Amino acid sequence: MRVGPPAPLQPTKVTPVNTSATSFLQHEAHALLARLQRIRPFALSETMVPAANLAPAAQRAIDHHLATGRELLRRQAIEFIGSLRDDEPANQAQRRFALLRLRFQASLSQFDLFADALAQRGERDHGVWMAGLDALAADALAMPAHYRSPPVVCYLDRGIGAAIRRARTRLPGGGENPAALIRVPRERMVGGGIASSLVHEVGHQAAALLGLLDTLRPMLRRHARHDDRWGWWERWISEIVADLWSVARLSVAATVGMIGVLSLPRPFVFRIGADDPHPAPWIRVLLCCAIGHALYPDAAWSRLAGLWRVLYPLDGLGGRQRALLLRLADGIDDFVDALLGHRPPAFEGRSIATVLHDDALQARTLRATLASTAAAPSTLLALRPCLASALLGQARTDERLSPQAESRWLARLLTHWALRNALTADPQDRQFIPTA
């Protein structure tokens, strides 16, 4: 087949560069608006069984926050389109559009942040268990006499540790986070340490709501002028307060769960990092045991501390590292006395120990409750989530419950809490409805 010569080029109308740029940017801004309009509220897009749903307060807060951001971005895009002029330098108009597009990307990032968490609610078992963890977290956070708790949303992710993006903190791209997002490691589902990891992260949120670190840090710095060990406590105080919250809400279950997380190769257990907000794991477990014994005296704390020392003896450590660890361990009791005796303004003259102590979590009370539930185990379902979790931890510590049975009970409890919240008569704010 013979190919003929190409057709001659037809003359085209030459348009000014700025008019072409204006048309291009108008097209891009309209495309952005079209994509923005396709983002639907989670209430219309997520599919899950009712028991796996977010608490209504969390659903409303998240959708309202994202809808407000989308509406603001929509108005900005329309204003941008209306402001384009043929006589505006093309590079200046492009600069304004680039900023608008960055705001659009930030809005998508916030949407994806919550979408990743909510997508798991459609998974079999895991979706309902997440709602059960929401209820446990809400119970651990509740302090109605001191603050109104923000909504809590739990989700799963890889890794060995939990983490929190606190409510009322700045989100990527701007705006205030409408709900506390707690990441739970998959390797903890469903095991005895799940409550410990979760309530530790709740402690970070509670400490921020109460302003505890604002008054603890100056106190620790004053002590550090005379004893350098207090400088370490001040450096680690954020994580220590979160551990304190976990112990105060779960008793010995908190420390048993912590040991499960911190059972790492020796170099990590003894590492003291100047840039790490976490205490060295070896010190952290001993410190948690000391806090627990001060709040809820019992021989179990000494046994756990002794077990930890046997699992990780100091033999073979360098002289300076060993000496510092021993010095810190020797100063634990004085530090715990100061920590629990501290009286922050939020507690109106009362000490931290007085406010956080819960008689129901005393070891003798937990054991008595366990004895009373032995004949009718289903009565465990009627207890508030933190107390039920503490009972399982106490039973595990006293070797009255196998890990397999503990896992089965945790799965049953999480499902029960999720279902109870889903069926409550008052849907206004139902993250946990106590029945006992």
Express each pLDDT in 154-211 by its tens digit: 988 877 778 999 998 888 777 888 899 998 887 777 777 889 999 999 999 999 999 9
If asked whether residues 248 and 350 sit together in one domain, one would say yes
Give domain status of residue 206, yes or no. yes
If asked whether residues 314 and 244 sit together in one domain, one would say yes
Give domain status of residue 324, yes or no. yes
At 395 the three-state DSSP class reads: helix
Q: Is the pLDDT of residue 67 over 90?
A: no
If asked whether residues 184 and 109 sit together in one domain, one would say no
Q: End of a domain among 69, 84, 119? A: 119
Q: How confident is the model at residue 403 (pLDDT cuts 50, 70, 90)?
A: confident
Question: Is there a contact between 293 and 301 (Cβ–Cβ < 8 Å)?
Answer: yes
**Element (H or E) spanning 145, and its range?**
none
pLDDT (0 to 100) of residue 19: 59
If asked whether residues 112 and 147 sit together in one domain, one would say no
Handedness of CA 179, 182, 183, 184 (dihedral sign): negative
> Token pair for residue 65?
């926050």
Q: End of a domain among 119, 138, 172? A: 119
Give domain status of residue 415, yes or no. no
Give domain status of residue 74, yes or no. yes
Rounded Cα distance, 176 and 169, in Å? 5
Show the domain range for 207: 126-360
**Bigger pLDDT: 384 vs 118:** 384
Based on the structure, what is the number of domains in the chain? Answer: 2
Q: Is the pLDDT of residue 47 over 70?
A: no
> Token pair for residue 166?
């606190």
Give domain status of residue 421, yes or no. no
Mean pLDDT for the stretch of residues 1-14? 49
If asked whether residues 162 and 279 sit together in one domain, one would say yes
If asked whether residues 342 and 302 sit together in one domain, one would say yes
Give domain status of residue 434, yes or no. no
Mean pLDDT for the stretch of residues 391-415? 91
If asked whether residues 76 and 214 sit together in one domain, one would say no
Give domain status of residue 396, yes or no. no
Q: Convert the pLDDT of each residue in 309-340 to its tens digit.
A: 999 999 988 889 999 999 999 999 999 999 99
If asked whether residues 57 and 187 sit together in one domain, one would say no
> Taking the mean position of all CA atoms in its chain, how far away is CA 7?
67
Q: Convert the pLDDT of each residue in 108-140 to its tens digit.
A: 777 777 777 777 787 777 888 889 999 999 999
Q: End of a domain among 295, 327, 360? A: 360
**Which residue shows structure tokens 């680039």?**
98
If asked whether residues 65 and 162 sit together in one domain, one would say no
Q: How high does pLDDT run on average in the chain?
A: 86
Question: Is there a contact between 380 and 409 (Cβ–Cβ < 8 Å)?
Answer: yes
If asked whether residues 100 and 223 sit together in one domain, one would say no
Q: How confident is the model at residue 241 (pLDDT cuts 50, 70, 90)?
A: very high
If asked whether residues 76 and 140 sit together in one domain, one would say no
Give domain status of residue 270, yes or no. yes
pLDDT (0 to 100) of residue 44: 60
Cβ neighbours for 148, distance < 8 A, ≥ 6 positions apart: none
Proportion of the chain above pLDDT 90, given as a percent: 50
pLDDT (0 to 100) of residue 422: 82
Which runs of consecutive H residues, i.e. helices, occur in 277-316?
A: 281-295, 299-311
Q: What one-letter code names the amino acid at 133?
A: L
Rounded Cα distance, 279 and 262, in Å? 11
If asked whether residues 197 and 170 sit together in one domain, one would say yes
Cβ neighbours for 117, distance < 8 A, ≥ 6 positions apart: 153, 154, 155, 181
Cβ neighbours for 47, distance < 8 A, ≥ 6 positions apart: 122
